[in-house]
Amino acid sequence: QKEVEQDPGPLSVPEGAIVSLNCTYSNSAFQYFMWYRQYSRKGPELLMYTYSSGNKEDGRFTAQVDKSSKYISLFIRDSQPSDSATYLCAMIANQAGTALIFGKGTTLSVSS
Amino acid sequence: GVTQSPTHLIKTRGQQVTLRCSSQSGHNTVSWYQQALGQGPQFIFQYYREEENGRGNFPPRFSGLQFPNDSSELNVNALELDDSALYLCASSRGPSYEQYFGPGTRLTVT
């Protein structure tokens, strides 16, 4: 079993839809949870990070962490064609950690 | 931001390659990741204050350096076909979960 599981998709939605992206993990030591967006042939861009359980909102993006279920989510409201990208979840145990552990990424396509 | 060079590179199996990374201003820690096609990035190693500060499950033919100006190099010896991937450098303010990635170097081994 991989430490972080993420459905690779692809996920196709119409413009304006609410998108839900998810990851599950097995290591209960993970405390920091990140979402990265990666456009084709580019490096990952840090979107949001969350510490422990709870919600965090930033504009159209909301990140949720449920440590009891070892499940994290990223919601995108009012999705736009410019949101079309691969979304990677990443996790780490310590604030001063070294290795981010990534999921495989979910490819999202938003059509106008 | 984080910059990497070169953008693309084609090498032959058995050769050696050096990839370079300049960290974001104010960042003194550099981490290297390998991203195979269709996969998430895999941690190779991290450098902090010019010393290796953690290493993933990669063989010793993957080595690195960090320089006093916080830039970094990734060296790969005896290239194998499976080394073909996007190599990503990430910088941070100290060892941290908050890592910012460069655009990557795409390495093709033939």
Q: How confident is the model at residue B48 (pLDDT cuts 50, 70, 90)?
A: very high
Q: How many angstroms separate the CA of residue A55 from the nearest CA in chain B? A: 18
Q: What is the pLDDT of residue A53?
A: 86
Q: How much of chain B, in percent, has pLDDT values that exceed 70?
A: 100
Tell me how close the Cα of A85 comes to any Cα of chain B, in angstroms: 13
> Which residue shows structure tokens 């190693």?
B45
Q: Confidence band (pLDDT; 50, 70, 90) for A26? A: very high
CA B96-A46-A19 angle, 5° bins = 135
Nearest to A11, CA basis, from A75, A90, A92, A102:
A75
Identify the DSSP state of B23.
P
Helix/strand/coil for A87: strand
How close does chain A come to B35, measured CA to CA in Å? 10
Asked if A79 and A19 count as a contact pair (C-beta separation under 8 A), the reply is yes
Q: Which of A33, A65, A98 to mutate to test the interface with B (most CBs of B within 10 A)?
A: A98
| Residue contacts between A and B (CB atoms, under 8 Å) | 67
Model pLDDT, residue A94: 82
CB contact under 8 A, A34 and B97: yes
Mean pLDDT of B5-10: 97
- Is B96 close to A34, i.e. CB distance below 8 A? no
Pair type for strands B29-35 and B42-48: antiparallel
pLDDT at res. A52: 87
**Which of A32-41, A88-97, B43-52, B97-106 is the least confident region?**
A88-97
Residue A96 has pLDDT above 80, yes or no: no
Residue A98: its pLDDT value, please?
86
Portion of chain B with pLDDT greater than 90, in percent: 99
The B62-66 sheet, strands edge to edge = B3-5, B17-22, B72-76, B62-66
Average of per-residue pLDDT across B43-54: 95
A7 falls in which pLDDT band (50, 70, 90)? confident
Query: Which of B87, B89, B88 lies closest to B27 in space, CA to CA?
Result: B89
Q: Tell me which residues of chain B have a C-beta less than 8 Å from any C-beta of chain A.
A: 2, 4, 31, 33, 38-43, 46, 53-54, 56, 88, 90, 94-104, 106
What whole-number distance in Å separates Cα of residue A32 and Cα of residue A100? 9
Q: Given an 8 Å threshold on Cβ–Cβ distance, is B104 in contact with A90?
A: no
Averaged pLDDT for residues A35-57: 93
Average pLDDT over residues B43-61: 95
Q: How far apart are CA A69 and CA A67, in angstroms?
A: 5
A98 touches chain B (CB under 8 A): yes
Which residues of B are less than 8 Å from A104 in CB distance? Answer: 38-40
Weakest mean pLDDT among A35-39, B96-100, B105-109: B96-100
For residue A95, pLDDT over 80 is answered with no
Residue that wins the pLDDT comparison between A41 and B76: B76
